[in-house]
Structure formats: structure tokens, C-alpha cells
Structure 1
Amino acid sequence: MTEHDRDGAEHVSTGTTKEAGEAVEAAIPELVIISGMSGAGRSTAAKCLEDLGWFVVDNLPPALIPTMVELGARSQGNVARIAVVVDVRGRRFFDNLRESLADLDAKGVNRRIVFLESSDETLVRRFESVRRPHPLQGDGRIVDGIEAERDLLRELRGDADLVIDTSSLNVHELRAKLDAGFAGDEKPELRATVMSFGYKYGLPVDADLVVDCRFLPNPHWVPELRPFTGLNEEVSAYVFNQPGAKEFLDRYTELLQLIAAGYRREGKRYVTVAVGCTGGKHRSVAMSEKLAARLAAEGVETVVVHRDMGRE
């Protein structure tokens, strides 16, 4: 934000000039309020928006929503989109919600309310499957808590800009609906971590896909290469001059492109590809670097981690 923009922010708060108001309006974050029935998918909706780049705040008292928006406006564009989850855990604050919404409207905040609901039968089944009580059931039954929550949220549901019935939706279908509504012109990105590792130290527990490079000759047995790692150009050249190395890289890159497209369709936003060799120092490191470069060239946001490279 420039000095002129900051001056505009001060002027608009006091309503002095049209030019100042226009400057501030551009700086005010977009706001989405996520609410709805417990068990209807609020957490999934929040995670989806977070994956789309929204700044998500869970269970924020409604009275503090204008303050959060104001802080976002001061972030010099770093917080351009805010999503706030409001639910019955903060029911004592619901009296302040309408006042907060009126305050936001008066400030020209672009805000939307997303309301998630499900049938009573679906909600009962979901609560029973996780063996947890409904937050409003007290000493009663789950259906008593659901009825109380519907009464509490009835007015908010009427004010919602988007109502999604998740009774027959799985997690991926709900994500797809939210992607369509909030991703804009940008397609949800897939982020990849390519991790080299040594099999003798165990498989990475967070690996989604595991690649074995032990079919290639080990530079460890080449005396002049043993002290170095796969980051060294001589080691990398040795690895990729072996029969099948370049072909493996080409074909596995093609396979990852196919998998990545499927992950995006299914709403998966993060993937860890573990590339292993015996000690995690030579072959897996060299292959990980090349594979990560290929993924980055395909537009996948990629981070490379060499888990065991520094071990003896």
C-alpha cells in the first residue's frame, strides 16, 4: 500500500473524500462467513477455502468480525480474503452478529454468508459414527440438539447468500462446489513435496507416493563420488548416465501428471512424493532434484526435502 493509499484509509474512516473512499475500498478484504449445522461440513468448507488462499479464522465471535476485517485492511494487501467460521460454540455472541453485519455493510465490505445444512437423519448418523454428542443436546438426545440448533440458526439461514445441503455430498463433492464458488478464475493449485530418503532409516510416514531408485548403481561404491551427495553435478551425471535413469524420470513424470490431474479433481491439494535409495545420499537426492524441477515446470508448486542426506 502506498502513502496515498494509507492516507485514503484514514480519510475514508471519517468519510472526507470520494478519492480516499475509492482507495480504501480496494484495500478492504473480501469476507466469507461460514456457518450452518454442526456436522454439515463447516470444517471441510473452511479447509477448502484455506487451500484456495483464504485467511481462515475458526469460531471467531461475531462481534470481532469487523475488527478482523479492519486488521486485514491494514495488511497492505497481504490478507485480501478472509473466511470466518461462526457456529453454536459461540452462540452467546449471536446477538452481536446482526450488528456486525450492519457495520460491515456500512463500510462497503464485500461479504457473503455460506450456510451448510443436512437432513436430521444424516446429521444423526454422522454424530453416531464419530460417537460424539451434539454440542446443544445437553442431557437430551442428538435430535434434541439438532432441533435447538435449527431454531437458533433459522434467521441466519434466511440471510445466507449460498446454502449447501450436504446430505448426499461426500467431501470431494463439497470441495468441488466451493471451488466453483470461490476459486474465481484461478484453478486450485496442487502443492508437492518431493522428499529423498534412505530405506535403511525407514519410510517417511507422510509419504503419499514412494519411488525406489535402488535399481540404479550406487555411487557409494565409486570412491571418488562417495564423499559427495546427489546435489553434486558429478554424482548427478553418474546417476543419469546409467541405463534406465532418464527413461524412468520421463515416465514417472508423465505418471505424476496423470495422478496430479486426478488429485485436483478429487480435491486433494497436497502430495508428498518420497524418493528412496539405500542411504538417502546419492541416487534419491539426484532423482528428487530432477523430478521436482519437472513438476515445477508443469506449474506444480514444489518443495524439495532431503531427509537423510546429512546422515552417516
Structure 2
Amino acid sequence: MLAFNNTASNWPTFSFIGIPGLEAAHIWISIPLCLLYLVALVGNALLLFLVRAERNLHEPQFYFLAMLALTDLGLSLSTMPTVLGIFWLDVRLIGLNACLAQMFFIHTLSLVESGVLVAMAFDRLVAICVPLNYTRIMNHYTVACFSGAILIRGATLLAPLPFFLRNSSFCGTNILSHSYCYYQDILNLACGDVTFSSAYGLIFVLFTFSLDAVFILASYMKILGTIMKLKKTQDRNWRSLHTCACHLCTVIVFYLPLISLAVLHRYTQDTSPILYTTMSNAYLFMTPLLNPLVYSLKSRQIQAALHKRFWVQHVIAGE
């Protein structure tokens, strides 16, 4: 394992740990990782293309889906240099500024994705609970306001974090627990008083991801209550619940590894490095990889658009 010492400095170099005990197999591990990245990039790019190209997908729920796909593309591209650098090229060192830049983009995009999930829950809430007012409430202006607020919230609330860490001192062996730069992971390596930085991180999580999760849960409880009051003959509303299943799967895929990783960092001290690596890679790969698959398999409109595009291309190729 690569290790080195730093004297207390504002300009340290960090080392990624990779997968402890499997260093000799990193080159082989890089092959499935490359495939996972390829599937995630192609899948999200395809969703973006379909939403842009198909006029019947020019609706608020699919605009938010396109924003979700764009965010997942950003997450994949943000982590790809260090992950493939470790497992493919055995490059494990990263400077402070590069690490803080990667950390900023990862956490900002994660917060943006959480905000998009909230917007998608609100869209389904309006569509099912007040369908007669849907077009009046969920118009292009509303979508633009939601999107702008989500982006501004992400960038504004995350902006202080790099400055907190840049003004901290680091000493000893600066080995990161993941294959990318994670705020709590870097904060744990700082020497000196980091009470304010740690408190800001905790408050940030409580008032962003936690509130988002509560709103999404409340929205779907309201949706479920509305549907249970409907007659079974109202098939249209019951089909709407099937659409909501896509979003619920996406919510679970996003929040489960995110919360698990945060709990591991904050409340466990002697956790196995293998567990850290497993959870961090789940957080890294699951959302960008599974979101396109979930919507391709569950959304009838996306399936129809894929079939149409594939069928047209097949006919053209046959000619």
C-alpha cells in the first residue's frame, strides 16, 4: 500500500486506497469498471437524446428526467479520472486543489440530483392529486423555476466546503478511504479544530438531503392515499401509480447508498476498509447506471420512443 507522510501543510497530497488486499487484481477490476462507466454514459446520453428528439416526451416529467440524466453524466465524468486512474493506471496521488474541485462537483451534483427527485415527486403529486390543474401548475415556467432553484441551491450551499478544507492543516499519512474525494473523508484527515466544518456538514445534510427525503415520502403518501380512494375502474389513475414506481425505484437507488455512506463516516470508527470501498462504489455507480435502466424498463413512453427509434433505424438499414 502506498503511504507517505506530510508535515502540517495547507498544500498536501492525498493518496487513494483502491481496494485493500486486491492491489494485484486492480488491472482486472478496471475492465468491469470501464464497462459500467460505458453503460452509464451511453444510457444517460440516450435518455437525453430521446427527450430532445421525441415530441411526445416534451412534458415536465421528462424534462426532469433529462435533467436527472444530465446530472448522472456529470457524476460519472467527475469520478472517472480518479477511479480509472487507480484501477487502470495505478495512479493514486492527487493534489489538494484537484481533490477539492472533484469533491465540489460530486457533492453539488448529488444535491442537484436530490432536488430533481423532489421536483419529480411534486410533478407526480400534481398529476395524480389535482389532474385538472396539472397543465396550469406544471408549465414551462414552473419547470424553469424548479431547475434554476435546484442548480442555485446546489452551487451556493456547497461553495463554502472547499474553502473550509483549503484553510485546514493536514498532517500524517493522508490516505483517502474511497476512489474519489469525499468531504467527510477529507475532513477526517485534517489536524486541528474542525468543529465548525463538521457542524456545517451535518447541518447541510439535515436541511437538504433529509428535508428532500421527507418531502418525497410525504408526497407519495399523499399520492397513495389519493389512489386508494379512487374506484378500480379508473384505470388511468392506477396507471399513474405505475409511472410513480419508476421514480420510487430511482429514489431508493439514490438515497440508500448515500445515507449508508454518510452513517459509516459519521458514526463508525473501526469499519473495515473493504466495507468503505464497497459502499462508496455503490454510491458512485448505482445511480448513474440504474436510472436509465429503470426508466427504460418501467416507463411506457420511453419504451415506445426506444422502439420507434430502433424500428426506424432497422427499416433504414434494411433498405
Same fold, TM-score > 0.5, yes or no: no
Identify, as 1 or 2, the structure richer in strand: 1
Q: TM-score, normalised by structure 1?
A: 0.21
Q: TM-score, normalised by structure 2?
A: 0.20
- The structure with higher relative contact order (CA 8 Å, sep 6+) is 2
